[in-house]
Amino acid sequence: MAKAPSRPPKPKVRIPKNRVPKRGGGAAKSSFGVGLITAAGTLGVFVAAALIGLWVVYWGPGPSAREGEATIVTLPSGAGVSAIAANLKSSGVIRSTDLFRAAVSLSGADRKIRAGEYEVPSGASLATVVGLLVDGKAVRHYVTLPEGWSSAQAVDILMKQPVLTGEVEIPAEGSLWPDTYEVSRGETRASVVARMQRAAKTKLDALWAQRSPNTIVTTPEEAMVLASIVEKETGLASERPQVAAVFTNRLRLGMRLESDPTIVYGVTKGRPLGRGIRASELRAQTPWNTYLIDGLPPTPIANPGEEALKAVLNPPRSEYVFFVADGTGGHVFARTYPEHLLNVARWREIERRKAGLPPGQTASVPGATATPMGEGEAAAAPVIIPPGAKVISVPAAAPQ
């Protein structure tokens, strides 16, 4: 009986030992993965929280100002980041010096911070503070000395500027240059005056070098004196050359200047008079009363500006020797005294109309008197020629 063919034996498959899973290994790997995911999630939460915290600190509200609506902080030139951070912290502008240093370092702002005085709003964020310092939005202070103001008034201006320090004596009249000056907190008033005086000398020297042969003045000091009178006589820049020409002609002809502002200066020493000139003041013997003295007064009566000096140093040719107010803020000029009297009469009529008075009645200011030249202040009496005044005609009146 034949035997059934036997099946060949199955080949044995060898499994490498390193591929044979150990008992319990799958569970261990699963636990480790879960742990990594959990740790990563926890770390992410911490990172997110830290980022949110930094965002709040950097962009959120900062400290409130200790006084008022803002805090003034001054950063000196050359100060390092650490010194700046300490300054801001002590001023109550930031809460943490470390966070400030980190913020400016990471943003590159540490190389862009500018010195100066800054006004930091109350509650400003760290981002706002850094932005202010980088943009250089510093507080800038200025003082302006207007043209024609006296040295006493200049000191008044400086004393009213709270960022300046110290006392200062009234400097010599005419020694200050009218201009706008930038000042810094803590600067002394004396140093500002010194700057004004240096500017005056520099400007006067430059203008003196460009003087015309037509000028009547012989020294820079005389130029400053005459220019101060021109400055006070008219507020219109277009009139300064003509006024300078009138005074040049009067000095050249030996006439007295007869300028009202010189009387006022003798009374107030540079302060506003605030009223009309009294007859007693017109006759008062002061060194500046050009109705009574010949030539120029001993000192300027104000601090003139550049245009007044140019007018004196380069006067136009003119035959005018008189002028009076015209009622529009300017003046009308005359060659002869009779012509001038007609102009004065017209001015009196303008005054009368402004005062609402009937024809023939003159507007009056108690104690005031009329003057043949000057700013046309209200007066109570007809034109008076002071003793010693020289009345001449240049040229002689043309025949009618």
How confident is the prediction for the chain on average, in pLDDT?
A: 80
Dump pLDDT digits (tens) for 12-71.
Answer: 556 555 555 555 555 555 554 555 555 555 555 455 444 455 556 677 787 888 888 888
Q: Is the pLDDT of residue 343 over 60?
A: yes
Supply the pLDDT for residue 69: 86
Supply the pLDDT for residue 354: 74
Supply the pLDDT for residue 382: 37
Q: Which two tokens stand for residue 362?
A: 């003159």
Q: Is the pLDDT of residue 104 over 90?
A: no
pTM: 0.71
Supply the pLDDT for residue 115: 83
Supply the pLDDT for residue 28: 52
Percent of the chain with pLDDT over 90: 43
Q: Is the pLDDT of residue 315 over 90?
A: yes
Supply the pLDDT for residue 152: 96
Provide the pLDDT confidence category of residue 100 given band limits of 50, 70 and 90: confident
Cis peptide before 395 (omega within 30 of 0): yes
Length of the chain as a residue count: 400
Out of 144-153, 246-255, 356-365, 378-387, least confident range: 378-387
List own/partner pairs for 127-134 with CB under 8 A and 24 or more apart: 127/58, 127/59, 127/103, 128/62, 129/62, 129/88, 129/93, 129/94, 129/100, 130/100, 130/103, 130/104, 133/75, 133/84, 133/109, 134/109
User: Angle between the 240-252 and 306-313 helix axes, to the nearest 10 degrees?
Assistant: 40
- Cβ atoms of 147 and 304 closer than 8 Å: yes
CA angle (387 as vertex; 345, 365 as ends), nearest 5: 45
Q: Is the pLDDT of residue 255 over 90?
A: yes
Dump pLDDT digits (tens) for 134-156.
Answer: 887 788 889 999 999 999 999 99
Q: Which two tokens stand for residue 79?
A: 């100060």
Q: Is the pLDDT of residue 8 over 70?
A: no
Q: Which two tokens stand for residue 71?
A: 């805090």
